[in-house]
Amino acid sequence: MANLHSSDTHNDHRVALVTGASRGIGAATAKRLAADGFAVVVNYAGNREAADAVRSDIEQNGGQALVVQADVSNPSEVKRLFDETIDQFGGVDVLVNCAGVMDLAPIGEMDDATFDKTVAINLKGTFNTLRQAAQHLRDGGRVINVSSSVTRLLQPGYGPYAATKAAVEAMTGVFTKEMRGRDIRVNAIAPGPTATELFLEGKPDHVVDHIANLSPMERLGQPDEIAAMIAALAGAHGGWVNGQTIHVNGGVI
């Protein structure tokens, strides 16, 4: 334990900012990090009620949470997100980039608006928060970017979505090196199909069953299972994991 900093072993008074924390994997992550002792910023885009429900849940369990609306694709809103976090909680130690959208269509049929939205939120959104993190993350901090196992599955219909996630993985590697000297670890996690609105919306039952059965575990992942790995990377046990993309997918690929 000699090489662990005190900030590695005690999460109390550490601050985690989770984008897209009103629903799905981000909501599960916010609750899990709060249970692990972090003060948590619950970011959302439009769904205030869901974000407030996450805050209430955290507070009822004795944790500390702040809800901040900000569209991650907008640089000035992301700057305000960091400013409000620092004003309220004094700093930022952990950034989890969970905000994302997944609108699917074959490349030959996809319209420009869908392509642009996918890139703006999934890729530019991650860039916007990383830029702020570079300026504000405290020494000893952690960054966890959420990619996807589609970067390996490469199914039809996932073109721009998979491309944004592959770009996030590339930026994760570069950002790791740019954090040299600051004791900051940067990783990506790549979940497989996980039971959230993003995955389930618009898919008939037989399609969901087919995709669930691609995994040798013969089921979808649950948001809590993804949050558990994010929490490991954010906590003391993740101290020697840096610059990696960790696939958390039940063995689907």
Which segment (3-11, 30-38, 40-48, 169-177) binds ligand NAP by CB under 6 A? 40-48
CB atoms within 10 A of CB 2: 3
Q: Is 83 one of the binding residues for ligand NAP (CB under 6 A)?
A: no
**Is-contact 172 187, C-beta < 8 A?**
yes
Under rule CB under 6 A, which residues in 222-241 are in contact with ligand NAP? Answer: none
Q: Least distance (Å) from ligand NAP to the CB of residue 77?
A: 8
**Is-contact 98 29, C-beta < 8 A?**
yes
Q: What does the alpha-carbon distance between residue 180 and residue 132 come to, in Å, rounded to a whole number?
A: 16
- Given the complex with ligand NAP, which of 125 and 140 has the nearer CB atom? 125
Tell me whether residue 44 is one of the annotated catalytic residues: no
Which segment (17-25, 56-64, 175-183, 237-245) binds ligand NAP by CB under 6 A? 17-25
Q: What angle do CA 143, 145, 148 make, to 5 degrees?
A: 155
Kindly provide the residue ranges of all beta strands, DSSP E only, lying in 79-223, ordered along the sequence.
92-97, 137-146, 185-191
**Is-contact 14 32, C-beta < 8 A?**
no
- Given the complex with ligand NAP, which of 173 and 239 has the nearer CB atom? 173
Q: How far is CA 6 from the centre of its chain?
A: 25
| Single residue of 128, 132, 148, 187 touching ligand NAP by CB under 6 A | 148
| Single residue of 105, 110, 198, 214 touching ligand NAP by CB under 6 A | 198
Q: How far is CA 160 from the centre of its chain?
A: 18
**Is-contact 58 32, C-beta < 8 A?**
no
Q: Least distance (Å) from ligand NAP to the CB of residue 149?
A: 6
Under rule CB under 6 A, which residues in 87-116 are in contact with ligand NAP? Answer: 98-102
Q: What angle do CA 160, 152, 148 make, to 5 degrees?
A: 65
Binding mask 61-80 toward ligand NAP (x if CB under 6 A, else -) reads ----------xxx-------
By annotation, the residues acting in catalysis are 161
Which stretches of the chain bind ligand NAP, using CB under 6 A?
19-26, 43-47, 50, 71-73, 98-102, 121, 125, 146, 148, 191, 193-194, 196-199
